[in-house]
Structure 1
Amino acid sequence: MNPYKSYSLKYPFNIDFDTIQYASPIDKKKVVTSRYGWRWGRAHRGIDIDLVTGDEVRAMLDGKVRFVGYNGGHGRTVVVRHANGLETVYAHLSKYKVKVNENVKMGQVLGKGGTTGNARGSHLHLEVRYKGVTINPEYLFDFNKDNSIRAKDIWITRNRVNPVNHVSTRKSKMPVYNTREDALNGVQKERVVYIIRKGDTLGKIARRHRLSITQLCRINSIRRNSILRIGQRLIIN
């Protein structure tokens, strides 16, 4: 499903759109039940949108179908590549309605929603990728009734692609970077998150990031004697 495993992206990079609107991937109100970010101690690299098994799933933008098949935890999946290099991924489907190399129009039915793969209940797992790298979909698209793309020219930083810097239970605050200069300036303000590993202590983490234990505790609202759990996130800046 990912042919770009050996490809290395340079940050920041930009994605441009030739439209300011997309087609809703479902035919009802879009309810996001789980967001891009850290979930249950691991990365959730897309968003989950509520639907009922059998609901039609549609292409968000014009494009060409690159992948149709079963892919591990994603279950039945369709990947559409768009003219700007962006790819949208539609997972947990119950049925396919397109074939590989088929050109599709914005709003065209790709398949039907379901529970295939590691799905806890029926929903659409939607990912947005560029050269194999997942991007927080809510940085590019507003999942509201207007179906709007947040800008025609959007610059992407590591923060926008790294799930560690987001939490699946709430929407991240992500101002759009419209120029490379905006993106470079924004990097200085983006928070850095560290994932606790086996053997870590507050002292080790603080020294590694040139902080005092007091600073680290204050930033994270924890105490010096707080128990650290493997997989726990600590904000570094």
Structure 2
Amino acid sequence: MDITSEFWDTSKIKIDYDTEVAYPIHIQFKDTNYVSPIPRNKVITSRYGWRKGRAHKGIDIDLITGDSLYAMFDGVVRFANYSSGHGRTVVVRHFNGLETVYAHLSRYGVKENDTVVAGSYLGKGGTSGNARGSHLHLEMNYKGIPVNPEYLLDFNENNEIRAKDIWITKTWTRPELHSSKRQSKLEIFSTEEEAIASMNREPKVYIVKKGDTLSKISLRNNTSITAICKSNHMKRNSTLRIGQKLIIE
């Protein structure tokens, strides 16, 4: 299987795909475990989700500068270069359509078009780019769409893949529906039917406008103030900001 035959661009991290992705997205894994990207216990310091008014499209894993980094699955290196935000970055495309992004490296261990296997050395961790302290910023993308890594993988000591067949709904590709401070409640879909049923009840996002109050927002969206506060981990007397995104369930 030639995974470099379509939309193969070694000049940038994110590719502009000209095909529309249909939901739910079906991902298959050949194994039940992945290789840890770092040689120590994985401590997540920031999760996929909304962070300081911006979308954080991956997870941050603590490490020490100079720690070796490893490919999580078999694949081919599509990008190994510097990006202003991500710093030194390696992107590996895998045979199931996913790409893993390893950012803030201090040193490269591979180059574009290198074939890697799970566990191959990719480089050294560090603080390059826009990094506050040494860590690995890890993203998992499908055709340019950022997927919440914790929906696909359990970042425990056993390095478990959550399901060999997994269906991804829009909820798990929208950072604004998640908080970078806590793990989202997981509901893994192993059949297309389960995923489609879930999509019919997915939450929506409301953007706060000038003059909005929780009372007005609840009436406008046919919900309660209590439900809004619970979904957004806020209190009734919390200050609303224009442009703030609220989850409405």
RMSD, aligned CA: 1.8
Whether the 8 Å contact between 1:216 and 1:236 is mirrored in structure 2 is: no
Q: Distance in 2 between matches of 1:195 and 1:44?
A: 18
Alpha-carbon distance, 1:13 to partner: 1.4
Equivalent position of 1:127 in the other structure: 139
CA 1:95–1:166: 2 relative to 1, 3 Å = same
Equivalent position of 1:155 in the other structure: 167
Equivalent position of 1:33 in the other structure: 45
- The answer to whether 1:219 aligns with 2:230 is no
Match of 2:212 among 192, 201, 205: 201
Q: Which runs of 5+ in 2 are unaligned?
A: 1-12, 230-234
Q: Secondary structure at the match of 1:127?
A: strand
Match of 2:67 among 47, 52, 55: 55
Alpha-carbon distance, 1:216 to partner: 4.0
Q: Secondary structure at the match of 2:129?
A: coil
Alpha-carbon distance, 1:62 to partner: 0.5
Q: Secondary structure at the match of 2:119?
A: coil
Equivalent position of 2:119 in the other structure: 107
Q: Report the number of matched residues.
A: 231
Please give the TM-score of this superposition, normalised by the length of structure 2. Answer: 0.87
Q: Secondary structure at the match of 1:160?
A: helix
Alpha-carbon distance, 1:189 to partner: 3.9
Q: Secondary structure at the match of 1:138?
A: helix
Q: Which runs of 5+ in 1 are unaligned?
A: none
Q: Distance in 1 between matches of 2:156 and 2:163?
A: 15
Equivalent position of 2:35 in the other structure: 23
Please give the TM-score of this superposition, normalised by the length of structure 1. Answer: 0.91
- Which residues of 2 match residues 131-142 of structure 1 at below 5 A? 131-142=143-154
Whether the 8 Å contact between 1:42 and 1:231 is mirrored in structure 2 is: no
Whether the 8 Å contact between 1:37 and 1:44 is mirrored in structure 2 is: yes
Equivalent position of 1:118 in the other structure: 130
Alpha-carbon distance, 1:208 to partner: 5.7
Equivalent position of 1:10 in the other structure: 22
Equivalent position of 1:77 in the other structure: 89
Equivalent position of 2:176 in the other structure: 164
Identity, in percent, stands at 57
Deviations 1:154-202 (A, max 9, x none): 1011000100111011111112111110101122343333343x53614
Q: Distance in 2 between matches of 1:218 and 1:21?
A: 40
Q: Distance in 2 between matches of 1:231 and 1:116?
A: 31
